[in-house]
Amino acid sequence: MLLALCVPKPALAPLGWVALAPLCLAVLRTAQLPSPRGARPFMLGLVTGLVAFGGTVSWTSEVLAVFGGLNLAVSWALTGVLIAYLAIYPALFSVMLTATVARAGPQAVMLAPVVWVAFEWLRGTVFTGFPWVLLGYSQSDTIAPLQVASLVGIYGLSALVALPAAALALLLAPGPRGRGHGRIAATAIGVVALAWAWGAWRVGQQALFDGPIARVGIVQGNVPQDQKWDPAHRDDILRRYLDLTRQVAALGVDLVIWPESSTPFVFGRDALPTEIMRAAVVRAGVPVVFGSDEIEGAGDRFYNAAFLIDPSGEVRGSYRKMQLVPFGEYVPLRSLLFFAQPLVERTSDFSAGERVTLLPLGGHKLSVAVCYEAVFPWLSRQAVRDGSQLLTTVTNDAWYGRSAAPYQHFEQARVRAVETGRYLVRAANTGISGVVDPYGRVLVRSPLFETGVYTGEVRWLSGATVYTRIGDSVPWACMLVTVLLIVVWRWPVRPRWR
């Protein structure tokens, strides 16, 4: 329950620092049993995962029912399968930690952050990955500790947040307390305090504000999902976006950003609306980044793409989405999902882009993450390593309604700004749109389901954070330690409980 409560919504960030303590304490108790290899460790982690993910991703049932065309029973069944799959990772964490504590004694519970991050990273990687609501995201709105992400990324931040929980469990461990338990717990709390103090110092330096200034405009079209691809609404939708673009261009912005799939037609393929849009951009006199489908060749390959049009109406670059959404943009194991045929039929079969492509603008370069891609740290890191001076995200969160998902998506995207030391501009069809500075502070934030334009000031930044240089070295190290612990499993159990 603590894991569910510490992320949006309700985003009770302080709970994140102790969220793993109950599970760690249960592991300590289980490790004292005569046979700690039974099903109990797995079930402890599984129940933890079922409750945590049931409280954070259950919004997928509404998406499947409303937009996937499934009846309520099937949509909840599929959501249950997703939740059960995600719960396997905390279950494996519990098994691994129990076995380690049974062999090495209660102090080994301090390896919980390492093992937790290893399985978080696996969840974010295998089967295309689902790095949603990681433990570190509980601190996305707590600016001082959030700065740790600039050193070790979101997974390193997860490890830091898990540390006090392990220390608390060690202090509450059953049986006689070892003389070193207090010192170990105090050291862990000291590490957290030091990281918090360093983060506050980093923000106070204001060192990431030395680049050229640009004023950006965000267009939030607020187009209902059931109208986006209805031909009867095509002209009205295009007119809305063009009117809003003229409105924000009049405010003196240097760049306008539309959301994902904002054009109600295939840009470049549908000639008339494409020319109307080009002419409107020329009249507005401002470059526009926008999302649209892209068709390659004779139409056998479709891409979810983002384009940049300059004030002359010419396309200066495009980016094809690389990290596709399962069951949203393609259907894995399509032939086996006979019971979810409406969902299979409604899901577009997009192709994935092959590389990160930067969009040039007036001697600068920006990168685009399309929707779901904003939760994959490696994409924004690669973009910055390739020369991106500004991060942008275009998304359509209309699917999520007023659930916790739009808030989760926004909070996760803002961490990319801290990791890479870049401003982030986010344009969402129905919100949340906004501007985030390189320290993770939200400068502009739009409400949900309101049509409007929003402006903010950003800077074209260069340089690289430590995380940009070393990448996900922390989760790799955690994986290595976890593999070594598996090797130790071959040794006979010799409990070291005092």
Q: Please choose, from the candidates 178, 132, 200, the residue with its C-alpha nearest in 3D space to the C-alpha of residue 28.
A: 178
- Is 260 catalytic? The answer is yes
Q: How many residues does the chain have?
A: 498
d(CA 352, CA 303): 7
Tell me the backbone φ, ψ of residue 260, rounded to 5 degrees. Answer: -60, 140
CA distance 377 to 157: 13
Structure tokens at 48: 């933890």
CA separation for the pair 382, 41 (Å, rounded) = 38
From residue 154, give the alpha-carbon distance in Å to each of 67, 198, 230, 419.
Answer: 31, 17, 39, 8
Q: What residues contact 140, with CB distance under 8 A and at least 6 apart?
A: 146, 411, 412, 414, 415, 440
Given 294, 321, 411, 419, the catalytic residue: 321
Rounded CA-CA distance 171/165 in Å is: 10
Tokens of 197: 């103090």
Q: Is the peptide bond before 213 cis (omega within 30 degrees of 0)?
A: no
Measured CA to CA, the distance from residue 392 to residue 218 in angstroms comes to 11
Bridge-based pairing state of the strands 424-428 and 390-395: parallel
From 371, 373, 419, 478, active-site residue: 371
Q: Of 62, 120, 260, 329, which one is the catalytic site residue?
A: 260
For 310, counting Cβ atoms within 10 Å of its Cβ (0-12 exposed, 13-18 middle, 19+ buried), the class is: middle
321 catalytically annotated:
yes
Distance CA 463, CA 446 (A): 29
- Which residues are the active-site residues? 260, 321, 371
